[in-house]
Structure 1
Amino acid sequence: GISFLKHIERTKVLAFVLDASRLDLGIKEQYQRLRLELEKFSPTLANKPFGVLLNKCDVVENIDKMTKDFCAFLNLGAQKLNAFDLEPYLGFLHPNLTSDFENNPNEKSALFVLPLSAISALNTHALKFVLLKALQ
């Protein structure tokens, strides 16, 4: 709600956590709803650098295809992840994960798209390094 959105105004980087296992609402629709709510609340907040986490990927049959399709939806090139000891899933890491966000030519572009499983700890360790790099 609004109180949560006010709370995140102070953040430097946003992380959208999408539920990859939802059958009633796909990840593209979840993402679009979050972006729309953010735009309505604050265009400034909507322009902050962001990343996307596809949570519960351990229970999704074809997470590679889902991730690749989602990256295509965002106009990003999905790639096998090998940085930060990421599990060998498709995902996306912006080639210039730096703190120089003002000079980033495409602020609307995701800094990362990561398949994640909190329950099995898939990519949770790597996520720490991705976020640290995004904040540096």
Structure 2
Amino acid sequence: MPTVPITTDNAPPSCGEGVWRALRRDRGRSPRRVADGEGRHGGAAGPGAKEFSARGIRVNAVSPGATRTRLADDAFTRFPEVVPAIAARTAFGRVGEPGDVGSLIAALVGDDGRWITAQDIEVSGGYRL
């Protein structure tokens, strides 16, 4: 059973809608998609999971915390002075790396995530604990 993890990292709100339209258009198929979208902001995981479960598709939202990526014009590279303050607010004392989020998404779309659906999973390193 495939999954549709939705990430919410700096994405325009309309991206999640495009995923749903594409899945509805692909009737009878079970595509695996990873897209930016409405996870925690629009509650896409729950309603989407209910809607697509009949087709054997799992829907989960992935909500990354502060993660060192090229999004936001490489903000952590351009403004390295903000990194220590953000890192100090995480349980692990660092900002996230792309692999921290990617490994969760890989688990969700693989067999290890076969019983996980309708979840908004925060990948933040324990931000603000």
Please classify the TM superposition score into its range, dividing by the shorter chain length: 0.3 to 0.5
TM-score, reference length from structure 2: 0.34
Whose Rg is larger?
A: 2
TM-score, reference length from structure 1: 0.33
Higher relative contact order (CA 8 A, sep 6+): 2
